[in-house]
Amino acid sequence: MHHLDIAGLDAHYGKLPVLSGIDLTVGRGDIIGLIGPSGSGKSTILRVLMGLLPPSGGTVKLDDEPVNHADQAALRRLRDRIAIVFQQYNLFQNMTVLENVTIAPVKIKKRPRAEVEAEARALLTKVGLGDKLARYPDELSGGQQQRVAIARALALKPEILLLDEVTAALDPELVSEVLDTIRVLAREGMTMLIVSHEMAFIREVASKVVFMADGRVVETGSPAQIFDAPQHQRTRDFVSKIL
Ligand code: ADP
Ligand code: MG
């Protein structure tokens, strides 16, 4: 049984086709590195997985169960199981770090505050911000804010974490602290789909790399296969430019 099974997935924005026949299986604890040129459809795949864009064809299954994108209750259950972190961390500026992490579990999930706070402290310690609980976002660096955003996503206890270019907006010297946080999650066995242009990092952590172009999966393989022995010219061009 696959944790996530995407088969023959098509998606359109209006009449414009943006994903064509995407096949991708993700095992429990797999880390998928999703790479490809800008506009190739990487973010769109993540949007479909979050239930933010209904596919026009194909299926998405979670633990063998098909997701019905027309069923709002099913989409809510989906969003209980999959969380996403974006390039723009969008923290609540008027709330402390701790409040940013606890707000959704307390207000939306109606979970007991004391329990949520204890978990949030542990998560913030894990991402290296145990001493910043009472700070406000504008008192933190971009790398620290992005780590709060990751802790906020983890506070929802997702089974699968989607990371969409989470280091792309950061100053270069702040990138590694966010990658370190992702390494910790990788070691803990979190299933992740990571869209990133940090190719050395993808090579290091990914169990499988998916190269996309023009809304299609061009090539899938181990990091060594994709980076050292790409089979398709399109993949060769991309990895030779970016490494
Ligand atoms: P990537 O994340 O790989 O850069 P995207 O998934 O964001 O690619 O975009 C795939 C294609 O869909 C691009 O051609 C992009 O211009 C188009 N696109 C993305 N978002 C929208 C939208 N909201 N409306 C129309 N077209 C869009
Ligand atoms: Mg994108």
The yes-or-no verdict on residue 151 having pLDDT over 90 is yes
This model of the complex carries an ipTM of 0.97
| Degrees, nearest 5: CA angle 160-163-166 | 155
Nearest atom (ligand 1) to Cα of 215: 10
Beta strands in the chain (DSSP E): 4-13, 16-26, 31-35, 57-62, 65-66, 82-85, 160-164, 191-195, 208-213, 216-221
Nearest to 8 by CA among 48, 63, 52: 48
Output the CA–CA distances (angstroms, integers) from residue 101 to 79, 98, 122, 221, in the order listed: 17, 5, 11, 36
For residue 243, name the pLDDT band (cuts at 50, 70, 90): low
For residue 242, name the pLDDT band (cuts at 50, 70, 90): confident
> What was the pLDDT predicted at 200?
95
The yes-or-no verdict on residue 101 having pLDDT over 80 is yes
Q: Average the pLDDT over 2-16 and give the result.
A: 95
H/E stretch holding 201 reads helix 199-205
Ligand 1 atom 5, closest CA: 41
Q: What's the pLDDT tens digit per position in 192-219?
A: 999 999 999 999 999 999 999 999 999 9
Verdict on whether the full-model pTM lies above 0.90 = yes
Nearest atom (ligand 1) to Cα of 41: 6
**Whole-number mean pLDDT of the chain?**
96
> What was the pLDDT predicted at 14?
92
Q: What is the DSSP string of 77-120?
A: HHHHHEEEE-SS----TTS-HHHHHHHIIIIIS---HHHHHHHH
Q: Is 39 in the pocket of ligand 1 (CB under 6 A)?
A: yes
35 backbone φψ class: left, alpha, beta (φ>0; ψ -120 to 50): beta
3-state secondary structure of 160: strand
